[in-house]
């Protein structure tokens, strides 16, 4: 509520508009992102937040998250991953190769924070000049249901490199990749669960 109805409201104080994710499948929760991207050190910084409920235990979800070699099964644009058997400590790294607009890009990701079974934070650069930080958090709802949340922060540089990243769809990729990864994790966890049950 505005404390002074007669005072002109600066644009920056206006709340973000409500959004509906028409492309998301049932079970995907979308938190509207602030339409005003922050600008830091010559870059436009933005954030995407998604969450999903998975029919599986928190331990089963973590087993998928820590094994990033499974990324090609979760992300259609990922063609190859060079990684250890599992991510287990801050400083662990892996390489991911993605194909976008007919071009292949290889990026190096580093674990910035990890709480096994609960939280994983990685950072890297997928497109030229862009920087991504992905925070994945696990919340056990009960013995057979888990909520997985993902926050993807990314920055796009100004100038020619930024225009190239925009042309290759960096912002669109951040939005679609967040949803795709969550759905991929859910699919793998639930498939494994069904296999054990049978």
Q: What is the pLDDT of residues 42-62, one digit of tens each?
A: 455 678 899 999 999 999 999
- What pLDDT, on a 0 to 100 scale, did the predictor assign at position 132? 85
Sign of CA dihedral 29, 97, 87, 57: positive
3-state helix, strand, coil in the chain (%, to 5): 30, 40, 35
Specify the pLDDT at position 38.
Answer: 42
Range with the poorest average pLDDT among 3-12, 80-89, 95-104, 172-181: 3-12
Instruction: Look up residue 25 and give its two tokens.
Output: 């499948």
pLDDT of 160 strictly over 70:
no
Task: Please give the backbone phi and psi of residue 196, each rounded to the nearest 5 degrees, phi first.
Answer: -65, -35
Residue 100's pLDDT band, with cuts at 50, 70 and 90, is confident
What six digits make up the tokens of 21? Answer: 């994710």
Instruction: Return the closest-CA partner of residue 134 out of 144, 146, 119, 145.
Output: 119
Please give the model's pTM, rounded to 2 decimal places.
Answer: 0.71
Mean pLDDT of the residues in the chain: 76
* Predicted local confidence at residue 28, as pLDDT: 47
The domain 27-197 having CATH identifier 3.20.190.10: the answer here is no
Q: Write down the domain spans for the chain.
A: 27-197
pLDDT at 174 > cutoff 50: yes
| Residue with more model confidence, 100 or 5 | 100
pLDDT of residue 36: 35
Confidence of residue 121 (pLDDT cuts 50, 70, 90): very high
> Dihedral of CA 27/52/186/76: which sign?
positive
The neighbour count for residue 133, using CB atoms within 10 Å, is: 17
């Amino acid at each position: 509520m505005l404390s002074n109805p007669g005072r002109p409201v600066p644009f920056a104080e206006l709340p973000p508009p409500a959004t509906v994710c028409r492309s998301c499948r049932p079970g995907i929760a979308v938190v509207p992102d602030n339409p005003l991207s922050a600008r830091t050190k010559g870059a436009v910084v933005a954030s995407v937040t998604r969450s999903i409920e998975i029919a599986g235990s928190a331990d089963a979800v973590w087993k998928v998250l820590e094994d990033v070699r499974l990324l090609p099964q979760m992300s259609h644009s990922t063609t190859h991953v060079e990684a250890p058997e599992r991510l287990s400590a801050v400083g662990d790294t892996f390489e991911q190769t993605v194909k976008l607009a007919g071009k292949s890009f290889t990026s190096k990701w580093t674990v910035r924070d990890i709480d096994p079974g609960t939280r994983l934070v990685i950072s890297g650069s997928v497109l030229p000049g862009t920087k991504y930080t992905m925070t994945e958090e696990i919340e056990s709802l009960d013995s057979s249901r888990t909520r997985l949340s993902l926050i993807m922060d990314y920055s796009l540089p100004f100038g020619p490199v930024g225009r190239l990243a925009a042309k290759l769809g960096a912002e669109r990729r951040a939005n679609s990749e967040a949803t795709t990864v969550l759905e991929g994790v859910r699919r793998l966890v639930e498939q494994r669960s069904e296999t054990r049950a049978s």
